[in-house]
Structure 1
Amino acid sequence: MEEIELYLEDAQQTMEGAIKHLLIELGKIRAGKATPQMLEGLQIEYYGSMTPIQNVATINTPDARTIAIRPFEKKIINDIEKAIRNGNLGFAPSNDGEMIRISVPPLNEERRRELVKRAKVEIETAKINVRNIRQDANNSLRKLTKEGVAEDMVKMGEDRVQKLTDTYVSKIEQILSLKEKEIMEV
């Protein structure tokens, strides 16, 4: 019974990780509001190594439509601006020598629908990940029968894994509806 609990705990932690990853990916999809997460993944060469922009600058949002980036060292401001332009984010940064400002344009209806589609792709990926975790957990539980654990105990474990899966798929659906509402809000 202890081994079954360990497999269930492991499955739950892994599913929780899938949700966290989903939230990070959805944070990169802009919904018309400026957020520092929009720049996640952008890197510049800094003292010979690729470094995330968040590690070399302060990023904040003074209002709902503006992202302000103040580099710790003025000499890298052009590198940051270049990374933003080359990042295919659809932003036109403006550089005043001290800081970079990005004006986030409002989304049109077509762009909003594209972003919802992109969000749905991320949601589907998360669901697939949760189902794969379920399958791995069930396979591990089935191996326990070969080690002498009673079949009814394994079956109860599989039922609990399915309930866990249903819970996390439901959470993913809730996240989708919130993100869809956020994107479509004008």
Structure 2
Amino acid sequence: MEYPGLIMIDASGFLQKKHPLDRYNELTEDVSHEVGHQWFYGTVGSDEYMEPWLDEGLTNLLENGVYDLTYTKSKSYCAKLMHSKFYTRKNVKRANKILKENANQFINKNQKANYINYPVNNPPKGVDTEDMAYELGMDFPAILKVAIGETKFFDALHDYYQTYYLKQATAQDFLNIIRKYDNSKKVNNVINKFIDP
């Protein structure tokens, strides 16, 4: 659970003398996620009840982008513990390529809208609150990153962070910053597939 300046992780399964090795992976992913909340929720506040995707989605994007899709020593060590040959530099590069291809397909095809801007107690029909906040909430900025380009996207994210440092931001604030960097039809089409007008 995240709190500004405090990360609480249940490590009971990991601290047992005999624990499944996948607990190490879960623990490192949980820590990566909760550290991400120090930026999005802790430093740049948002209303986690009315706009849960805003902090969870950006945090998941950072968790996956930094931890899962970047070759790191801790992830490499975890793969060795689990005797996994999947986590190699080559496979990480391939996974990033596939994600970019999938994002481009989403951008270029007439995809069904997956609205994420709903409060926790009132998600769109047929959408689970957790999926809305975490998964679709991460897909939105990930696809925006491809539509805008990585450099401009991270410049916009840096601007968002600096602008709303120790303030409470809204989804509209985030979108205003994104549109400041790229207000093209392509970017607005992505926004319209996730943000219900």
| Superposition TM-score tier, normalisation by shorter sequence | under 0.3
TM-score when scaled to structure 2?
Answer: 0.27
TM-score when scaled to structure 1?
Answer: 0.28
Q: Quick check: which has more Rg, 1 or 2?
A: 1
